[in-house]
Amino acid sequence: MSPLRLDSLDVFAAIVRCGGFRAAAKERRVSSSALSQTVGGLEEALGLRLLNRTTRSVAPTEAGAHLLARLGPALQDIHDALRDLDRLRETPSGLIRINAPAPAVDHVLAPIVFDFMGRYPDVKVELVSDGALVDIVAQGYDAGVRFGRQLAQDMIATPLGPPLRYAIVCAPAYLAARTLPLSPQDLIDHACIGRRFPGGTLVSWEFEKAGETLEIVPPARLTLGSAHQEVQAALAGQGIAHVFDTYAQPYLADGRLVELMPDWSRKLPSWYLYYPHRRHPSAAMRAFLDHVRASAPA
């Protein structure tokens, strides 16, 4: 049997459903002769006549009726599937998966997503907190969040929120019987609270002052797995924590934490939402990107 074109099967079914070539041609906005050629090619490929034609009527042969009986449900499934795709293309719905580090989720991305979901109730969102650099395409994500300097060049990026700043914080009670550290080197004599990435690497502490940058991994008596835990340990007087200032701001405001060495505070670029270049994103993804751009600071 010669190769078949699936659209020729749809043409055959349309001719039978419409009761003739002329009505089917009008429905499909093509000429009757074009449909006649399509059916002729289909019959040639199958080696069977599918339609009996007269000047006044068209009716399926026995082979045509048998094919149509099996073909009808399959074609309906295909049309239904295409209508579902139209809905995804035109109406924001379906699932958006985003991979992002926990600090970005906690302080920037989650509030944007919550507002977005309130506007688009048919869209589902999955936020996966992950500090490791991953291939978002290979892992099945629609987008990711990282620092600008960590983005692959083949990605499109949109800024999320303001620049970031590290803060060195502790509880006032911790300093009551200790010397105030004035430089990063002084931390060697203090109880620092460390953090370890899920992959096993210890998080380094980054500092910057008057163009000088410094990166250290201070000795830590207590090592934890998240910035939230570090802040809780600092509040409990367990030592000095190194976190994004967004984690510490509520406690700095009420005096439960104090900031040390603010002149050494390291500033970083903002978070960026990044995603692969695609000519035809889903309606949900287009709406989300528009929402992110509208939410970003001027």
The string of pLDDT tens digits covering residues 250-276 is 999 999 999 999 999 988 888 889 988
Q: Worst-scoring range by mean pLDDT, 82-96, 118-132, 169-183, 230-244?
A: 82-96
Helices 62-90 and 283-295: crossing angle in degrees, nearest 10, is 0
Say whether pLDDT at 152 is over 70. no
3-state SS, one letter per residue, for 25-59: HHHHCCCHHHHHHHHHHHHHHHCCCCEEECCCCEE
Pairing of β 155-160 and β 271-276: antiparallel
Bridge partners of residue 220, in order along the sequence: 192
Cite the residue boundaries of each domain of the chain with CATH code 1.10.10.10: 6-90
Q: What is the mean pLDDT of residues 233-241?
A: 96
The string of pLDDT tens digits covering residues 8-46 is 888 888 888 888 888 888 888 888 888 888 888 888 888
Q: What is the CATH number of domain 94-162+270-295?
A: 3.40.190.10
d(CA 102, CA 99): 9
Which of 30, 42, 34 is closest to 5 using CA atoms? 42
For 152, the 3-state DSSP assignment is: coil
Q: How many CA within 13 A on the CB side of residue 243?
A: 34
**What pLDDT, on a 0 to 100 scale, did the predictor assign at position 44?**
84
Which of 248, 278, 256 is closest to 154 using CA atoms? 278
d(CA 51, CA 54): 10
Say whether pLDDT at 89 is over 70. no
Which token pair is 69?
């009986």
**What pLDDT, on a 0 to 100 scale, did the predictor assign at position 150?**
58
CATH top-level class of 6-90: mainly alpha
Bridge partners of residue 164, in order along the sequence: 268
**What pLDDT, on a 0 to 100 scale, did the predictor assign at position 91?**
78
For 8, the 3-state DSSP assignment is: helix
**What pLDDT, on a 0 to 100 scale, did the predictor assign at position 278?**
66
Polymer length of the chain:
298
Confidence of residue 297 (pLDDT cuts 50, 70, 90): low
The larger pLDDT score, comparing residue 286 to residue 86, is at: 286
CATH 3.10.20.30 fits 164-268, yes or no: no
Confidence of residue 180 (pLDDT cuts 50, 70, 90): very high
Q: What is the mean pLDDT of residues 229-248?
A: 95
**What pLDDT, on a 0 to 100 scale, did the predictor assign at position 46?**
83
d(CA 81, CA 201): 47
Cite the residue boundaries of each domain of the chain with CATH code 3.40.190.290: 164-268
Enclosing H/E stretch for 205: strand 205-209
Residue type, 255: G
d(CA 178, CA 238): 13
Cite the residue boundaries of each domain of the chain with CATH code 3.40.190.10: 94-162+270-295
Would you say the pTM of this structure is higher than 0.85?
no
